[in-house]
C-alpha cells in the first residue's frame, strides 16, 4: 500500500482552523502520510508560514463533515479528546480531505504507523529500549531471598504468546512444571511474580483464570506452583477481579476459579471490576457529558453518576488497596487474576505497587513499572487503544483500562501531592501516547508481536525522548520528597474527583491553574521568578504533536 493512494487532495488554501479557547486562524492545509498540517501566512507569500497545527493523523478518532453550499466544515475529534474544526472552501476539497483523513487514520497495519518513519536527530534508535531489564529487577529480589528465579521458559513465546521471554517464578518450580501449569491457564498465562514485598517477604503474583471448566478439571502442576509460595500453615489470597457469579459462569466456557478443595491454602476474594465494552461505554458517556456545555447542574451530576466512570475509579483503587493490604497488613501473598489476566489484573497489580513501593513512585521507577506491568505483561494496547471516546466505528476490543490506571494514579497524586516524583503532565503525555504516538513504546499487543514487527529496532522509545534533560524537567513534581511509607488512599466518594486536567483539558481554560502550578514550582525551587509563558504560546503548543518541537528544531 502506498500512502499517496489514500491522499486524494494534498493541499488546500484558505482553510480556517478553529478550536475552543483559541482564536481561529486561516492558512494552508496540507496532508502528509502521517500528519495534518496547517500553516498560516501572516507576512504574505515571501515569508515562511507559521505552523499552526501539526496533528498526527493517527490521533484522529472521528471525522465529521458538513457541506453547506460551496464549502464544507470538517470536525476532527481526536483520541486525546480535543476537537478541531476546519472550514474548507470547495465542496470537493472538503470531501476529499475528509475521506483522506478517514483512510489514513484507520490504517491498521502496525508497520505502516508513524513510529516506523519518525527519525528525530536528537535521539538514537536503540536509546530507551533497554532501560528496565527484568534481570535488574530480579537482582533486587535475589539480594533478599532465593525463593525466586528467572525463567526463560517462554523464550520463543510458545509457552505463553502474551508473556515476555523471561519471567520471575518460584525457584522450586522447574520449567517443565511451568509449561504444564501454562496449559491449565487461559492463554498460557501461568502465575508469575508481579511484585515482591521486601518488608515481609510476601509476594504478589498474577495470572489468567484457570481452565477448570464444567468438569472441574484440576492441574497438579498449577496447584504445586501456587503451593510452593506458601509455607505450611500459611495463607494466601486470590483476588478475582470478577464477581463470584461471573467466575462461575466462566466455568461453562472452560474457564473458572481455583476451587477451595484443590487450593486449600488460598482464600478467594471476588472484587468485580468493569472491563471491555461496558468500560469503553463508560468512557464514551463521560466524555459526551463533559463536552455538553449546555447542561444544568442536576443533569451534569446525574450524567456523571450514570456514566459510572468514578465508580470504576473507586473500585479499581479499592481493589488495589485490598491487594496491598493483604501483602502489607495481613502479611499474606496474593494472586490476582480476572479472566484473560491482561486487563483488570494488570490494573490492580500495577496500582498496588504504586501504593506499596516507593521505588515505583519515581519518574524512572514509574516508567519501569509501566514497562514491566503493562507493556511486557501483555496488555493489548493495540486493541484496547485503537479507538478513543469519539469514534463512531463499531467497537471491537477497545477499553480504556490504561486510562483508568492513569486516573487512579492521578487520584493518588492528589491525595499525596509530595509522594510521586512525576507530575500530572506525565500522566497526560502517557495517555496521549498510548492512543497515538510518534514512538514505538505502546505499539502492538505483546512482546511477541513487538519482536515480529521489530519495534525495538525500527522505532524510537518514548522513554528516550521523555528522559532528555530538557524534556524531563516538565514531568517532574517540584514538591516531591521520598516517602518510604505505603500511601493508603481514601476511597470515600468525597475523596475521589473527576480528573479535570484530562477530561476538560480542551474545554476549559487552565490559565489560572497553570499560573498556580508555576507559582508552586517557583516556591518549591526556592523563589526564582516563574518562567512566563503566554497563554497563546501554551495553547498553540498543546495543539501540536509533541514531535513537532523536535522536528521544527531541525
Q: Which residues bind another protein (CB under 8 A)?
A: 290, 293, 295-302, 304-305, 308, 310-311, 313-314, 414-419, 479, 487, 490, 492-498, 500, 504, 508-509, 512-513, 515-516, 519-520, 523-524, 527
Cβ(316)–Cβ(348) below 8 Å: yes
* Residues in the chain, total: 554
Instruction: Provide the CB-side half-sphere exposure for 322 (13 A, CA).
Output: 21
Please, are residues 72 and 95 in contact by the beta-carbon 8 Å criterion?
A: yes
3-class secondary structure, 150: strand
CA 419 to chain centre: 21
Least Cα distance to 3 among 79, 83, 116, 91 occurs for 116
* Complex with another protein: residue 312 or 379, whichever CB lies closer: 312
The minimum distance between CB 293 and another protein, in angstroms, equals 6
CB of 288 to another protein, least distance (A): 13
CB of 62 to another protein, least distance (A): 22
CB under 8 Å to 225, separation ≥6 — which residues? 169, 170, 173, 177, 178, 181, 190, 191
Rounded CA-CA distance 428/217 in Å is 45
- For another protein, the closer of residues 509 and 549 by Cβ is 509
The distance of closest approach from Cβ of residue 491 to another protein in the complex, given in angstroms and rounded to an integer, is: 9
Q: Is 49 exposed, middle or buried (0-12, 13-18, 19+ CB in 10 A)?
A: middle
Check: CB of residue 168 under 8 Å from CB of residue 150.
Answer: yes
CB of 300 to another protein, least distance (A): 4
- By beta-carbon proximity to another protein, the closer residue of 403 and 496 is 496
Instruction: Kindly tell me which of 446 and 477 has the beta carbon lying closer to another protein.
Output: 477
User: Minimum distance between the CB of residue 387 and another protein, rounded to whole angstroms?
Assistant: 24
Instruction: Rank residues 23 and 264 by Cβ distance to another protein and give the closer one.
Output: 23
Query: How far is the C-alpha of 360 from the C-alpha of 221, rounded, in Å?
Result: 32
Q: Would you put residue 430 in left (φ > 0), alpha (ψ -120 to 50) or beta?
A: alpha
CB of 447 closer than 8 Å to CB of 378: yes
Q: Which is nearer to another protein, 456 or 508 (CB)?
A: 508
Residue 20 CB, nearest approach to another protein (Å): 12
Closest to another protein by CB, 215 or 494: 494
Q: How far apart (Å, rounded) are the C-alpha atoms in residues 529 and 506? A: 27
Shortest Å distance, C-beta 497 to another protein = 7
Q: Which DSSP helix (H) or strand (E) runs through 237? A: strand 236-240
CA angle 94, 95, 99 (to 5 degrees): 120
Residue 507 beta carbon to another protein: minimum distance, rounded to whole angstroms: 8
User: What 8-state DSSP symbol labels residue 422?
Assistant: B
Output the smallest distance, CB 5 to another protein, in A: 44
Nearer to another protein, 3 or 416 (CB): 416
Q: Edge-to-edge, what's the strand order for the sheet holding 22-31?
A: 50-56, 35-40, 22-31, 11-19, 83-89, 71-78, 60-68
- In whole angstroms, how close is the CB of 535 to another protein at the nearest point? 14
Nearer Cβ to another protein, position 98 or 428? Answer: 428
Distance CA 28, CA 50 (A): 10
- Please identify, using beta-carbon distances, which residue of 246 and 507 lies nearer to another protein: 507
Shortest CA distance to 210 belongs to which of 234, 242, 164, 235?
Answer: 242
* Pairing verdict, β 266-270 and 236-240: parallel
In the complex with another protein, which residue's Cβ is closer, 154 or 411? 411
Amino acid at each position: 500500500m502506498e500512502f499517496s493512494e489514500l491522499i486524494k487532495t494534498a493541499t488546500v488554501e484558505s482553510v480556517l482552523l478553529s478550536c475552543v479557547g483559541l482564536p481561529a486562524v486561516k492558512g494552508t492545509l496540507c496532508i502528509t502520510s502521517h500528519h495534518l498540517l496547517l500553516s498560516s501566512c501572516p507576512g504574505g507569500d515571501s515569508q515562511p508560514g507559521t505552523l499552526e497545527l501539526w496533528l498526527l493523523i493517527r490521533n484522529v478518532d472521528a471525522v465529521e463533515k458538513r457541506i453547506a453550499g460551496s464549502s464544507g466544515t470538517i470536525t476532527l475529534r481526536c483520541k486525546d479528546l480535543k476537537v478541531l474544526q476546519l472550514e474548507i472552501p470547495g465542496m470537493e476539497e472538503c470531501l476529499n480531505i475528509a475521506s483522506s483523513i478517514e483512510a489514513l487514520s484507520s490504517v491498521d497495519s502496525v508497520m505502516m504507523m508513524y513510529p516506523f518513519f519518525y527519525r528525530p536527530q536528537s535521539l538514537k534508535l536503540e536509546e530507551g529500549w533497554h532501560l528496565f531489564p527484568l534481570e535488574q529487577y530480579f537482582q533486587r529480589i535475589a539480594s533478599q531471598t532465593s525463593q525466586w528465579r528467572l525463567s526463560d521458559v517462554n523464550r520463543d513465546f510458545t509457552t505463553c504468546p502474551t508473556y515476555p521471554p523471561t519471567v520471575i517464578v518460584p525457584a522450586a518450580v522447574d520449567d517443565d512444571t511451568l509449561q504444564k501449569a501454562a496449559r491449565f491457564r487461559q492463554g498460557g498465562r501461568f502465575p508469575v511474580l508481579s511484585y515482591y514485598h521486601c518488608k515481609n517477604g510476601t509476594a504478589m503474583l498474577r495470572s489468567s483464570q484457570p481452565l477448570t471448566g464444567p468438569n472441574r478439571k484440576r492441574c497438579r502442576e498449577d496447584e504445586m506452583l501456587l503451593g510452593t509460595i506458601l509455607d505450611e500453615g500459611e495463607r494466601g489470597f486470590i483476588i478475582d477481579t470478577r464477581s463470584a457469579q461471573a467466575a462461575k459462569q466462566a466455568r461453562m466456557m472452560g474457564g473458572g476459579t481455583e476451587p477451595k478443595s484443590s487450593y486449600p491454602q488460598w482464600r478467594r476474594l471476588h472484587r468485580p471490576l468493569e472491563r471491555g465494552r461496558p468500560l469503553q461505554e463508560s468512557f464514551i458517556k463521560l466524555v459526551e457529558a463533559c463536552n455538553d456545555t449546555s447542561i444544568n447542574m442536576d443533569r451534569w451530576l446525574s450524567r456523571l453518576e450514570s456514566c459510572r466512570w468514578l465508580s470504576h475509579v473507586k473500585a479499581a483503587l479499592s481493589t488495589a488497596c485490598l491487594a496491598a493490604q493483604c501483602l502489607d497488613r495481613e502479611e499474606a501473598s496474593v494472586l490476582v487474576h480476572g479472566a484473560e489476566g491482561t486487563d483488570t489484573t494488570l490494573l490492580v497489580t500495577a496500582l498496588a505497587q504504586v501504593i506499596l513501593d516507593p521505588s515505583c513512585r519515581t519518574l524512572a521507577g514509574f516508567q519501569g513499572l509501566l514497562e514491566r506491568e503493562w507493556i511486557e505483561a501483555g496488555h493489548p494496547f493495540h486493541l484496547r487503544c485503537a479507538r478513543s471516546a469519539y469514534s463512531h466505528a463499531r467497537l471491537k476490543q477497545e477499553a480504556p483500562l490504561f486510562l483508568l490506571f492513569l486516573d487512579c494514579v492521578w487520584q493518588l497524586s492528589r491525595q499525596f501531592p509530595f509522594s510521586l516524583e512525576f507530575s500530572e503532565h506525565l500522566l497526560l503525555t502517557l495517555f496521549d501516547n498510548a492512543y497515538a504516538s510518534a514512538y514505538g513504546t505502546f505499539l502492538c499487543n505483546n512482546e511477541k508481536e513487538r519482536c515480529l514487527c521489530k519495534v525495538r529496532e525500527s522505532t524510537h522509545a518514548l522513554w528516550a525522548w521523555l528522559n532528555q534533560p530538557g524534556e524531563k524537567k516538565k514531568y517532574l513534581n517540584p514538591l516531591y520528597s521520598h516517602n518510604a511509607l505505603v500511601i493508603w488512599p481514601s476511597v470515600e466518594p468525597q475523596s475521589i474527583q473527576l480528573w479535570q486536567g484530562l477530561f476538560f483539558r480542551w474545554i476549559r481554560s487552565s490559565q489560572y491553574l497553570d499560573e498556580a502550578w508555576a507559582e508552586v514550582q517557583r516556591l518549591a525551587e526556592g523563589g526564582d521568578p516563574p518562567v512566563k509563558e503566554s497563554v497563546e504560546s501554551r495553547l498553540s503548543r498543546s495543539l501540536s504533536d509533541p514531535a513537532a518541537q523536535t522536528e521544527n528544531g531541525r
